[in-house]
Chains A and B, each alone.
Chain A
Amino acid sequence: MNTLFGEKKAEAKKIVLTSVDQYPEAPISLGTTLSNFTGDWRTFIPVVNEDKCVKCYICWKFCPEPAIYIKPDGYVAIDYDYCKGCGICANECPTKAITMEKEEK
């Protein structure tokens, strides 16, 4: 599995595309979504309850931002620099392991 997001994310965040040749042919996530921090859009924040999580990664597939990553222990975690608080993950999680809570700022 390609892990550009996941553990290597901290590195990926540093990517700044400085020449046109570094861009992908089509505008897919790489380099566009990553450089766009959507984390300050939120009112509600997703919180993962590992007791209920069955590691199905449906949340990971559905998240429209590069906000969910898989930790080395297999559970999912949320990168709040990118999470815009849309709640799709909470809605799609089959075990209701993700809840949306009002964010205290």
Chain B
Amino acid sequence: MEYKPIRKVVSGNYAAAYAALHARVQVVAAYPITPQTSIIEKIAEFIANGEADIQYVPVESEHSAMAACIGASAAGARAFTATSAQGLALMHEMLHWASGARLPIVMVDVNRAMAPPWSVWDDQTDSLAQRDTGWMQFYAENNQEVYDGVLMAFKVAETVNLPAMIVESAFILSHTYDVIEMIPQELVDEFLPPRKPLYDLADFEREPFSVGSLATPADYYEFRYKIQKSMEEAKKVIKEVGREFGERFGRDYSQMIETYRTDDADFVFMGMGSLMGTVKEAVDILRQEGYKVGAAKVRWFRPFPKEELYELAKNVDGIAVLDRNYSFGMEGILFTEAKGALYNTDAKPLMKNYIVGLGGRDFTVNDVRKIAENMKAVIEKGELDVEVDWYHLKR
């Protein structure tokens, strides 16, 4: 069948819901939380209209939503959920459970700032706080990437038997409408065949077995190692699946760090999610103004693309790491990760951390220009003014 995309104007949340529908998810368990609500409302609508054969489990909290997904996934189903901020935090314990039991659940997290002060706006601290739960994390720049990301995530997750989180920005993507290209169902089915579970609880022909059973100090360690091995394996799978996606549907995701005009760049802006759309726009403008700059969008934060970062870092004089998140007592989270990944290499660009956009504060092309001016001066001087710059602070 020839690929003819279906163009539709959708919000980021509807893009997520359509992707779940097209991935033929079998179980959705979710609890509504702003700004994620319209994802599950749309899925409920698909079910009500008879467009989808999905078992929807309404639950009383996000902890239960993830628990229900874990049960469904262990029984062999393709399970999906979505959440935001405090809801994601409430799932935390269950997130460890899903990855430890090696269940390829896919979840959309609509990035929202943690309270208090209460906030429903964009901020990456909620998802990054789940860094160590064993979930893969993909940060979408736009609605198209939300849709594509969910479809690819299922394929990757079901190959390496680890769960995956697709992260989109509150309101900037979740409630903003844009044209996206959706893929006809038959072609999605070819790309993403039905799941073949590692162990199937509903296989009544085999000996009963317990899932997530006790491991004494004699055995626990090996299971942790296996998760890490699968995370490393996932890097390969992500690139292959990303390349296949590109060959089939014209959008290539084989780079875990998408580089934009970095080839001859003196320095690059690095960041994740929707803010990188603004950065790319700014790069085009800055290039006309004579700045030799590029953008490096980290698509997959877990597994972390160390090798790709190294390739990028050895060719530039500086990296301005834009963090829409913060780890209190330290610095922006991507900044820590990027510096750490490069420490034992010979790539030593000047790295400076800019904390931007927390709690949904606007981050504009003009902000990128100011950061470029500052970064240029820092590189010319050859030393940092400050390592971590609270860029928007009212002084």
Instruction: Please name all residues of chain A whose beta carbon is closer than 8 Å to the beta carbon of B210 when the two chains form the complex.
Output: 28-29, 33, 64
The reply to whether A29 and B213 form a contact with Cβ atoms under 8 Å apart is yes
**Majority secondary structure, B binding face:** loop
Query: Whose C-beta in chain A lies nearest to the C-beta of B218?
Result: A35
Q: CB-nearest residue of chain B relative to A28? A: B209
Contact A32 B161 (CB under 8 A): no
Q: Using a CB–CB distance below 8 Å, which chain B residues touch chain A?
A: 100-102, 161, 198-199, 205-216, 218-219, 222-223, 225-226, 230
B207 is contacted by which of A3, A26, A36 (Cβ under 8 Å)?
A3
Q: Is A73 an interface residue (CB 8 A)?
A: no
Query: How many pairs of residues, A versus B, come closer than 8 Å at their CB atoms?
Result: 67
Inter-chain contact A28/B199, CB cutoff 8 Å: yes
Complex-state Cα separation, A63 to B213, whole angstroms: 13
For the side of the interface on A, what is the size category? 20 to 34
Contact of A4 among B207, B214, B223, B225 (CB under 8 A): B207
Neighbouring B residues of A4 by C-beta, 8 Å: 207
Whether B102 lies near A29 (C-beta < 8 A) is no
The reply to whether B222 and A20 form a contact with Cβ atoms under 8 Å apart is yes
* B226 and A31 contacting across the interface, CB-CB below 8 Å: no
User: How would residues 4 to 35 of chain A score, 1 for a CB under 8 Å from any chain B CB and 0 otherwise?
Assistant: 11100000000001001001111111111101
- Asked if B207 and A1 sit within 8 Å, CB to CB, the answer is yes
| Interface core residue of B161, B198, B206, B219 (most chain A CB under 10 Å) | B219
Task: With A27-B211, A33-B210 given, name 8 new contacts (CB 8 A).
Answer: A1-B207, A23-B223, A25-B230, A28-B211, A29-B209, A32-B214, A35-B218, A63-B208
- A20 near B225 (CB under 8 angstroms)? yes
Rounded to whole angstroms, the CA-CA distance of A1 and B206 in the bound complex is 6
Whether A17 lies near B222 (C-beta < 8 A) is: yes
Min Cβ gap B224→A in Å is: 10
Please, how many angstroms separate the alpha-carbon atoms of A30 and B198 in the complex? 14
Closest 9 CB pairs of A and B: A26-B102, A29-B209, A32-B215, A33-B213, A2-B207, A20-B222, A28-B209, A29-B210, A23-B222
Q: List 8 A-B contacts (CB under 8 A).
A: A1-B205, A17-B219, A23-B222, A27-B213, A29-B209, A29-B210, A32-B213, A63-B208
Cα A3 to Cα B206 with chains together (Å): 9
Taking a contact as CB atoms under 8 Å apart, the answer to whether A36 and B223 are in contact is no
Task: Provide the residues of chain A in CB contact with B211, threshold 8 Å.
Answer: 26-28
Give me the interface of A with B, judged by CB distance under 8 Å: 1-6, 17, 20, 23-33, 35-36, 60-61, 63-64
| Cα A31 to Cα B214 with chains together (Å) | 10
A29: B residues at CB distance < 8 A: 209-210, 213
A37 and B192 CA atoms in complex are apart in Å by 42
What's the Cα separation between A32 and B205 when bound, in Å?
A: 22
**B213: which A residues are within 8 A, CB to CB?**
27-29, 32-33
**Option from B206, B208, B219, B226 in Cβ contact (under 8 Å) with A32:** B219
The interface residues of chain A lying within 8 Å CB-to-CB of B100 are 27
Q: Cβ of B225: which chain A residues have Cβ within 8 Å of it?
A: 20
Q: Would A23 and B219 count as touching, CB distance under 8 A?
A: yes
Contacts of A24 in B (CB 8 A): 199
| Cβ-defined partner of A26 (8 Å) among B161, B214, B216 | B161
Tell whether, in the assembled complex, residue A36 and residue B101 are in contact, meaning their CB atoms are under 8 Å apart: no
Cβ contact within 8 Å between B219 and A60 = no
- Specify which of B102, B205, B213, B219 lies most central, judged by the most chain A CB atoms within 10 Å of its CB: B213
Given contacts A25-B198, A26-B102, contact A36 B209 (CB under 8 A): no
A61 lies within 8 A of B199 (CB): no
Closest Cβ of chain A to B156, distance in Å, is 16
Nearest CB on A from B207, distance (A): 5
Q: Looking across the interface, which residue of chain A has its beta carbon closest to that of B161?
A: A25
B100, B210, B216: most-surrounded residue (chain A CB, <10 A): B210
Nearest CB of A to B210, in Å: 5
Q: A27 — nearest CB in chain B belongs to which residue?
A: B223
> For residue B212, which residues in chain A have a CB less than 8 angstroms away from its CB?
26-28
Q: How far is the CA of A60 from the CA of B208 in the complex (A)?
A: 8
